[in-house]
Structure 1
Amino acid sequence: MEQIHDTFAIEIAEYSEWRERNRKNNFFELVYVLDGEGQHSANYIKHKYSKNGIFLLPAARCHMYIIEKKTQFLFLRFTGSYFIPGTNDTVDYSNWFNRLNFIMGNHDYLSGELIDDPDDKKQLKRLLDVILYEYEHKGICSAFVIQNTLVSVLAIISRNIQAKALGGRIFTDKKFVELLNFISFNILDTEKLSVSYLSRKFHISENYFSEYFKRNAAEKFQDFILNSKLRIAGSRAKFTDAPFQEIAMELGFTDSSHLNRMMKKYTGKGMRETRKEIQG
């Protein structure tokens, strides 16, 4: 795994038989199948893979590949600091940390392709081919090009996961769909999630906002926010090794005890129990 930037690393590997890899201290890996075929196994469910397949692996060791034909993989590893801008970065990635958490909280982590939409899959393949080219040629600005291309990669992933998260629900109010998307992709930004800010941005009366949201979402605004954060917390517990205190602080809870109480109240399981579901 070559660390070409402080916040992400790339590896190209070829396997005739899958081997467990050291994947600690990362959020997840994006896997692009360059060649080969076999089965992708996640949580004991198997799904066929072949050339140009695109998958998402969380940090927890609950995924493997059953290789039937020698396979070459491109691995893109995202670290916890991926969206924290460095002193030399010209792009501010801090807002994208919200998207990373949105993906973590709403992806089902089942086996199978990451992207269902055929057009988006083609688009994602084009972007991954750009990353592959820059990685292999290692030009002067290759790390910068890869870093910026990853922004578009994660935007496409987020768009597809958002469609799945809506569960086929159809909203006649376009403004409300835009509102939901904005909330989902800014879930860690307290200021942008305030009723006053959202009312101004989406031209909804502040006095009417709560009623408007509940009528369209069939749940209270604050419950939607809390449940969204708890989904992220549960996913971070299962699929990363992040300390509970770190998860709590990033999601805006007072401390790990506060987060644990909320998890037990709304899901019936605390953070430790949730982590044991996958990691044992």
Structure 2
Amino acid sequence: MDIIHETFAIEIAEYDEWQDRSRKNNFFELVYILDGKGFHSVNYVDYPYEENGIFLLPTAKCHKYVIEKPTRFLFVRFMGSYFLPNSNGTVDYSNWFSRLNFIMGNHSHLSGEMIDDPDDKKQLKRLLDVIIYEYNRKDICSAFVIQNTLVSVLAIICRNVQQKVWGGRTFNDEKFVDLLNFISFNILDPEKLSVKYLSNKFHVSETYFSEYFRRNSSERFQDYVLKSKLRIAQSRAKYTDNPIQDIALDLGFTDSSHLNRMMKNHFGKGMREIRKEMKK
């Protein structure tokens, strides 16, 4: 693994037979199939892969590739610090921290290929070609170019995850679609999720906002926000080793007990139960 920046690492590797790789201290990993064919297995579920396939891997332990045809992989490993609001990088990634929480909370890590839109897949290939070029060039500006290109890569991933979350559902009110996107991508910012702030931003009367949201989504605004946070908490319990107390505080819960109560109410299982299931 060639570490070219403190917040991410890039590797291009070819395998005839899969070998276990060290994946410690990463937030998640993006895998792009340059060429080859086989099956991708996460937690004992197999999905076919082929050239130009792309996968998003959490820190799952039960992970491997069953290689049918010699395969070249592009691995992009994201360290947790890449998405921290106080990152030392020259680019401000504070908004992306919430976006990645949205991806982690809503992307099924057992779903195999994650980009369905053919035009997005072509665009993603162009961006990854830029990353490969800079990886091979390795000059003084390469890390910065890769870092900025990854912003666009993640935007495309985010768009595809959002489409899957909606499951083909359409909304007649375009403003409401913008509202849902704004909530999803600012889920950790309580100020921006206040009814007052959202009413002003989207030009909806504050007294009418709750009714407006329920009429368009068929659920209460507070319930939508809570379930969004709980999906993120569930994903972190499954795919990271973060302390449950830290997860709770980061998502705006009073403490781990508060988060566990909410999780049991909505999913029937507490955080520790969810984490233990992934270790079996």
Name the TM-score, length of structure 2 as normaliser: 0.96
Instruction: Tell me which residue corresponds to 1:118.
Output: 118
Instruction: Tell me which residue corresponds to 1:268.
Output: 268
Amino acid in the other structure paired with 1:276: K
- Following superposition of structure 1 onto structure 2, how do residues 75-154 of structure 1 map, counting pairs within 5 Å? 75-84=75-84, 89-154=89-154
Single out whichever of 109-118 and 19-28 deviates more from structure 2: 19-28
CA contact (8 A) 2:38 2:48 kept: yes
Instruction: Tell me which residue corresponds to 2:195.
Output: 195
Instruction: Tell me which residue corresponds to 2:234.
Output: 234
Single out whichever of 229-238 and 108-117 deviates more from structure 2: 108-117
Q: Distance in 2 between matches of 1:11 and 1:256?
A: 37
CA contact (8 A) 1:84 1:92 kept: no
Instruction: Tell me which residue corresponds to 2:172.
Output: 172
- Following superposition of structure 1 onto structure 2, how do residues 183-262 of structure 1 map, counting pairs within 5 Å? 183-262=183-262
Q: Distance in 2 between matches of 1:87 and 1:214?
A: 37
Structure 1 residue runs of 4 or more that deviate by more than 6 Å after TM superposition: none
Q: Percent identity?
A: 74
CA contact (8 A) 1:35 1:71 kept: yes
- Following superposition of structure 1 onto structure 2, how do residues 150-161 of structure 1 map, counting pairs within 5 Å? 150-161=150-161
Amino acid in the other structure paired with 1:78: F
CA-based RMSD: 1.4
Deviation at 1:44, TM superposition (A): 3.0
Deviation at 1:89, TM superposition (A): 3.0
Name the TM-score, length of structure 1 as normaliser: 0.96
Q: Distance in 2 between matches of 1:24 and 1:264?
A: 30
Residue-by-residue CA offset, 1:52-92 (whole Å, 9 max, x unaligned): 11111111123321001111111111111112256753321
Single out whichever of 231-240 and 89-98 deviates more from structure 2: 89-98
- Following superposition of structure 1 onto structure 2, how do residues 17-96 of structure 1 map, counting pairs within 5 Å? 17-84=17-84, 89-96=89-96
Instruction: Tell me which residue corresponds to 2:5.
Output: 5
Deviation at 1:150, TM superposition (A): 0.7
Single out whichever of 183-192 and 18-27 deviates more from structure 2: 18-27
Instruction: Tell me which residue corresponds to 2:163.
Output: 163
Aligned residues: 280
List gaps (5 residues or longer) in structure 1.
Answer: none
Single out whichever of 253-262 and 175-184 deviates more from structure 2: 253-262
Single out whichever of 87-96 and 16-25 deviates more from structure 2: 87-96
Q: Distance in 2 between matches of 1:111 and 1:217?
A: 26
Amino acid in the other structure paired with 1:6: E
- Note closer, same or farther for the CA distance 1:226–1:87 as it changes in structure 2 (3 Å cut): closer
Higher relative contact order (CA 8 A, sep 6+): 1
SS of 1:81's partner is helix
Residue-by-residue CA offset, 1:230-250 (whole Å, 9 max, x unaligned): 000001111111111221121
CA contact (8 A) 2:43 2:60 kept: no
CA contact (8 A) 2:37 2:50 kept: yes
Amino acid in the other structure paired with 1:136: N
